[in-house]
Amino acid sequence: MNGYELKQKVQAGGIVYGTMISLSRNPRWTAPMADFGLDYVIIDSEHSPRGRSEMADFIAAFSFSGVAPIVRIPIPDSHYVTMALDAGAHGILAPYCETVEEVSDVVAAAKWRPLKGATVRKVMETGEFPSQATRDYLEARNRNSVCIIGIESVPAIENLDNILQVGGVDAVFVGPNDLSITLGIPDQYDHPDYEAALREVIRICQKHGVPNLFHHQTVELTTKWLREGVRFVLYSSDAREMHNGFRQDFGMIKDVGAEIEGVASEDVGESQEVI
């Protein structure tokens, strides 16, 4: 699936499935990941220390895997948007957007690359292009580009209706850790205020016809919000799933070993990754 197909499926009411890549760096990881049944991955460069060249290699490998590679850029800035797309990404996730100006800058770079400066600002403000040929060319060139914005704070939610009037946003991401902190209830994902905030995001996004990604780390939370209207599923991360898989399998093996040894069994605990 490429970026265009991803957008088409969600816009038609379908569900797409993806995960965050926080740890993997070697392009050889793309082969097994392609067998997981994923439609897309988000390769993190906000919290993960990836260089520009290794990011390009990773993106290139995913492009041949049938899984659409999307990059979470460090900040909502047009320069980072174009760097990711020039490297071959099928889209970007711009984190922690709070203003119309930030989102307009991101959308302009994602949808109308390589227009810059006064010309692209005019496009965003008035819809006027240098010519119809220019518009047709840029639409074709950026056909695969998926533009996702991060709404991760109380001010962002309060401004979301205005933000989505910019147009060109393909999906709205929520980072639960960041949002719950700004709500004053860190990591309390069953708190009424947190749930009310997510429902408000869904309400506003549905008004504008924009799907949501809520990046939860448990099956229970992910399926809860899937039932409440999320269609752009973003679940867990490569690091967390590796941890949980080893924890489960080795936990059962160690239980038997502890029984044989006559000692108490130990649990390594949940993954502590916050991303």
Whether residue 213 contacts residue 171, with contact meaning beta carbons closer than 8 Å, is answered with: yes
- Closest of 217, 211, 177 to residue 194, by C-alpha: 177
Amino acid at 62: F
136-156 confidence digits (pLDDT tens): 999 999 999 999 999 999 999
152-170 confidence digits (pLDDT tens): 999 999 999 999 999 999 9
What domains sit in the chain, N to C, each tagged with a CATH number? 3-261 (3.20.20.60)
238-256 confidence digits (pLDDT tens): 888 888 888 888 889 889 9
Whether residue 3 contacts residue 145, with contact meaning beta carbons closer than 8 Å, is answered with: yes
**Cα→Cα distances 143→115, 138, 177, Å:** 15, 8, 32
Task: Please check the confidence at residue 232 and state whether its pLDDT lies above 90.
Answer: yes
Q: How confident is the model at residue 50 (pLDDT cuts 50, 70, 90)?
A: confident
Q: Which residue has the tokens 């533009």?
A: 147
Task: Please check the confidence at residue 275 and state whether its pLDDT lies above 80.
Answer: no
Q: What is the pTM of this model?
A: 0.93
163-203 confidence digits (pLDDT tens): 999 999 999 999 999 999 999 999 999 999 999 999 999 99
